[in-house]
Chains A and B, each alone.
Chain A
Amino acid sequence: MSRVRDTEETEVKPPLTPAMFHVLLALADGEKHGYAILKEVERRTNGKVRLSAGTLYGIIKRLNGEGWIVELNKRPAAALDDERRRYYRLTDPGRRAAMAEAQRLEDLLVMARNKNLLRKTEFA
């Protein structure tokens, strides 16, 4: 387990910021356009993490550059779509990067729990 994680961690460059991780998470269950990503993040975090247009597209550009997400050429049926919208999908490397980050966070939590910094019920 730890061996796998090691190799994966070397792939994660530059390190993921929380905001980047949230965007990857938002895309984990399917392709979305920008505004949808933004709303998803806000909803999942109960409004604790709010991305603005400027930050979101800075992140999208970087994730795109890393090859972790791609822009889709196909769009939904024209009736449902605003023509300005572009859709993004998580790539396999992107998924691996998100998994590695999730693993890293879980490892941290295990450590914290072992030190009695976290009650089990609270995490469930």
Chain B
Amino acid sequence: MTPAPIPLSRRIFRNLMRLLPFDFRTNYGEEMEGVFHEQQREIESQGDALDFLRLWGETIAGIFRTAPSEHWEILKSDASYALRMMRKNMGFTAVAVLTLGLGIGANTAIFSVVHSVLMRPLPYPQGQQLVFLRQEAQKQGIDDLGFSVHEIEDYRSQNRTLSGLVEYHSMSFILYGHGDPDRVRTAVVSANYFDLFGVRPLMGRTFLPDDDKLGAAPVLILSYEYWKNNFNADPAIIGKTFEMNDKPHTVVGVLPPVPQYPTESDVYMPTSACPFRSSKAMIDNRDARMMEAFGRLKPEASLAESRADFSTIAGRLKLAYPKSYPEGAGYTAVSSSLREELTSGARPTLLVLLAAAGFVLLIACANVANLTLARMSKRERELAVRTALGAGRSRLLRQLLTESFMLALLGGALGLLFAYGSLPMLTEFAARLTPRAREIQIDLGVLAFALIAAAGTSIVFGTLAALFARANLSSSLKEGSAGAGAGKQKNRLRNLLIVSQIAFSFMLLIGAGLMVQSLLKMLEVDPGYVPQRVLAMRTTFSFNKYATREQTVDIIRKVLARVQGEPGVLSAAISSSYPLEPEAIAAGPNSFSTSFDVEGRELGPTEAPPVSSFHAISPDYFRTMGIPLKEGREFTAADGGKGPLVAMINEAMRRQFWPQEDPVGKRVSLDSKATWLTIVGMVGDVREFGLDRPAAPEIYFPHSEGAAPATLIVRTSADPLTMTAGITRAVHDVDSQTAVTHVLTLEQARAESVSSPRVTASLLAIFAVLALLIAAAGIGGIMALAVSQRVREIGIRLALGAQPAAIFRMVLNQGLVLAILGIAIGAAGALGLSRMVKSLLFGVGPTDPLTYLGVGSVLAAVGVVASYLPARRAARIDPIEALRAE
């Protein structure tokens, strides 16, 4: 006989009842169904369709009303039960909460950076419309030429996809009339710069079109930070005037505290107020590129359309001005999303760190699951008794999940505290990767992440524990708590958890090991100069006072002579830049490069001229820096000025152009063959823009041939920082209006240049050590548990004549086998992930065998050490005691 099919209405009713808690259904389900059935029957016999609909409506509403309050009741009682259990097992609770807190904290901290930097839109109205514009010379390897005044005008007037295009460049000027002469970071911008970004002033106004006209009265806008820190947030600042570049500048506005891109500035001025930008030579020369450009897309325009637009204009310019855009340079113009531009450098590092933090959380989960399992073996009887007393199995699972969720919630709260505490450090770290670092904060998104991490965590380890409970509940009453049958499955699960902890630890350790190695490799790189006991300080002479080249040469000569006379000074020089200067690294090599011609070498019609960095230096520069002379001679005081123009080059330049010849006597031109510089000497290669960047061709020429250098470099006999005051005084003795800033030793500059890999390596190392400790505690705990469960078995073995040493080895081997399994799986995982870290490494491959071998040995050793105590305990079991105890 086949059972009658269940009517549709009953099926619907049963499904509705699933909304109610399991226990409620078990208790009243059948009766409810009966009542509903009778109601239905009554309507069928005497009611109409309307009654029928009303019955369904009331029934559905009733269940929807009852279900939440019933679930809430259960949650309340489960939670209070869980709290009681947690208080009863303070040790377990503390370890679990701490482990989860570390895991969730690491993730929340890194996520707060990822969220603020990579995920959030720019903090400007319609920030997604903002684009960064670049001119590229692809074939010369230059990805950002900068813009000249002509080019800005061309792109502004010819584009069809932008609602606005503004220019920006950064200068350092000296501001007088407010205490000591103050060197201010000055952004020179178009009048509509702030309108384009959608920034409204906190006080006063932003720039007006008239401010930008040549000859307009100079005006200034102060950044919020500069106004607050240097003027104590003076509410009457508007209208005050300060002397800059020999002219009075009137403050017309103060900015709100907004993130400033691309760099932070103290003051803003319109283009007409910048003496360089407004000079005729600058305005008329299409090739004088010093500006950056930003745009805002029209609402209807896409980025792809704007790229096509810019490429078209670039093609047009190439045809119109072939001299400025030689065929072989690969010239084009590109627009890219500003957000992308500001964060692309940070992306790989942040993603690696997020993955690493995720691993730590997984390890923490596995560990807490194992702890829970261990504790559950103690609670097996309690759980089994509750089952026997009628608690449904799913009711117990629900109880267990509530317990784990509460643990995870506490862990999440602790993790938030950790994350909050690490915020200043993380912000400083991220500042080396992206200008958006200042936006990092713990906001609702981060809170939600922590909550989701906690919930996810509790589901992972709670389910693991519950799975085990399901498998074992039925057997434990029958066999007693030390039952062997269920034990096998339970141990397998535990071992699996241990193996996965070791595997993830292995991957983290590999990542950390590779990062540390590449950091060490970077520090081992010979920078090409001797950084010890050398001081660099930016000296800015008032250029109005020293307007001509002769005046500049004269003041530099006086300053160098005065500084040389200071006791403790071995030698002093002045230079336009120095190796690994933080600002130079930030700006990139392109900003210091120029194209040049080599005498006797004609370019093919499609060939681009070669490019080199250039440095204006005083004669003692190489001696002061400790850069060795390889060929020819150094500059002397007689060079420059009226004699023939001279230059020096580095070895990289020789390798490229005169590999077989003596470069001394060859000539190069920096101004399209108008004048020629004769090479008089060659020096060793120097890592100018990063220890990880191979030396590129460099040209040096005497500062007396042009270009005012800015940095005073002093080699001292003692700790250079102790001599800062004396040297500054010496400079001010010559001219008290000279601003002395950016004081740094070359060793500091070198350390600074590797600070990003250093912090990445440190964070990864912290994560890895954390993981290692958690995993080690896990192995130790599990082996100890295994031994305590096998006391009787071991006792029998010993009673039957087994040697304690053999027992010791047996336990130790078990730990070691788990470790080796974990290492093998971890190695496979690490190999799979090696591509991810490749871009962050220097001088070491992502599959470096030595690192793998080292990390493997460390983990194996940890496995042995963690199993040592339990093994010793097993070997010392007294067989008589063990057997009596049962």
Residues of A bordering B, CB below 8 Å: 34-35, 38, 50-58, 60-61, 82, 84-86
Contact = CB atoms under 8 A, between A and B. Distances in A.
Given A35-B38, A61-B24, A54 B66 contact: yes
Interface string B367-389: 00000000000000000000000
Interface string B502-514: 0000000000000
Contact of B62 (A35, A53, A84): A53
Contacts of A61: 24, 27-28, 70
A-B interface, 4 closest residue pairs, ranked by CB to CB distance from nearest: A52-B62, A54-B62, A54-B63, A58-B66
Interface string B26-42: 01101111111011000
B58 A57 contact: no
Given A50-B58, A52-B59, A58-B70, A86 B65 contact: no
B35 A38 contact: yes
Contact of B32 (A50, A54, A82): A54
Interface in B35-91: 35-36, 38-39, 55, 58-59, 61-67, 69-70
A53 B39 contact: yes
23 contacts: A34-B35, A35-B34, A50-B58, A52-B63, A54-B32, A54-B64, A54-B65, A55-B62, A55-B65, A56-B32, A56-B35, A56-B62, A57-B28, A57-B31, A57-B32, A57-B66, A58-B62, A58-B69, A58-B70, A61-B27, A61-B28, A84-B31, A85-B31
Contacts of A51: 62
B128 to A, nearest CB: 49
Nearest to A59: B66
Nearest to B38: A35
Nearest to B13: A53
B80 to A, nearest CB: 16
A60 B28 CA distance: 9
A53 B32 contact: yes
Given A61-B24, A61-B27, A34 B69 contact: no
Given A52-B59, A52-B62, 15 more contacts: A34-B32, A35-B39, A38-B35, A50-B58, A52-B61, A52-B63, A53-B39, A53-B62, A53-B63, A54-B62, A54-B67, A57-B28, A58-B69, A61-B24, A61-B27
Contacts of B39: 35, 38, 53
A55 B32 CA distance: 10
A84 B38 CA distance: 12
A61 B70 CA distance: 10
Contacts of A56: 32, 35, 62
A46 to B, nearest CB: 15
B191 to A, nearest CB: 69
A34 B59 contact: no
A27 B791 CA distance: 61
Interface string B810-841: 00000000000000000000000000000000
A53 B31 CA distance: 9
Contacts of A52: 55, 58-59, 61-63
A57 B69 CA distance: 12
A52 B20 CA distance: 14
A84 B34 contact: yes
B677 to A, nearest CB: 94
Contact of A54 (B38, B55, B59): B59
B36 A53 contact: yes
A83 to B, nearest CB: 9
Nearest to B70: A58
A114 to B, nearest CB: 36
Contacts of A84: 30-31, 33-34
B44 to A, nearest CB: 15
Nearest to A65: B73
Nearest to A52: B62
Given A53-B62, A54-B62, A82 B24 contact: no
Contacts of A35: 34-35, 38-39
Contacts of B27: 61
A34 B31 contact: yes
Contacts of B61: 52, 54
B59 A53 contact: yes
B55 to A, nearest CB: 8
A53 to B, nearest CB: 4
Contacts of A54: 20, 32, 59, 61-67
Contacts of B31: 34, 57, 84-86
A51 B27 CA distance: 19
Most buried by B among A38, A53, A84: A53
Contacts of A85: 31, 34
A112 B39 CA distance: 38
B34 A55 contact: no
A78 to B, nearest CB: 16
B187 to A, nearest CB: 66
Contact of B66 (A34, A50, A55, A86): A55
Contacts of B20: 54
A80 to B, nearest CB: 14
A55 B61 CA distance: 9
A52 B32 CA distance: 9
Nearest to A58: B66
A53 B65 contact: no
Contacts of B28: 57, 60-61
A82 B34 CA distance: 9
A50 B63 CA distance: 14
B77 to A, nearest CB: 11
B35 A58 contact: no
Contacts of A55: 62, 65-66
Contacts of B33: 53, 84
B203 to A, nearest CB: 58
Contacts of B69: 58
B531 to A, nearest CB: 77
Nearest to B69: A58
Interface in B480-525: none
Contacts of B59: 52-54
B35 A53 contact: yes
Contacts of A82: 34
A82 B38 CA distance: 11
Contact of A58 (B38, B58, B65): B65
A7 B39 CA distance: 40
Contacts of A53: 32-33, 35-36, 39, 59, 62-63
A81 to B, nearest CB: 11
A38 B62 CA distance: 13
B31 to A, nearest CB: 5
A37 B62 CA distance: 16
Nearest to B20: A54
Most buried by A among B62, B63, B67: B62
A56 B806 CA distance: 68
B32 to A, nearest CB: 4
A115 B27 CA distance: 48
A91 to B, nearest CB: 19
Nearest to A82: B34
Contacts of B63: 52-54
A14 to B, nearest CB: 11
A85 B34 CA distance: 8
Nearest to B57: A52
Contacts of B65: 54-55, 58
B108 to A, nearest CB: 39
Contacts of A58: 62, 65-66, 69-70
A43 B322 CA distance: 99
A21 B361 CA distance: 52
A82 B64 CA distance: 27
Contacts of B32: 34, 53-54, 56-57
B61 to A, nearest CB: 7
A52 B555 CA distance: 98
A29 B398 CA distance: 40
Nearest to A60: B28
A33 B36 CA distance: 13
Contacts of B35: 34-35, 38, 53, 56
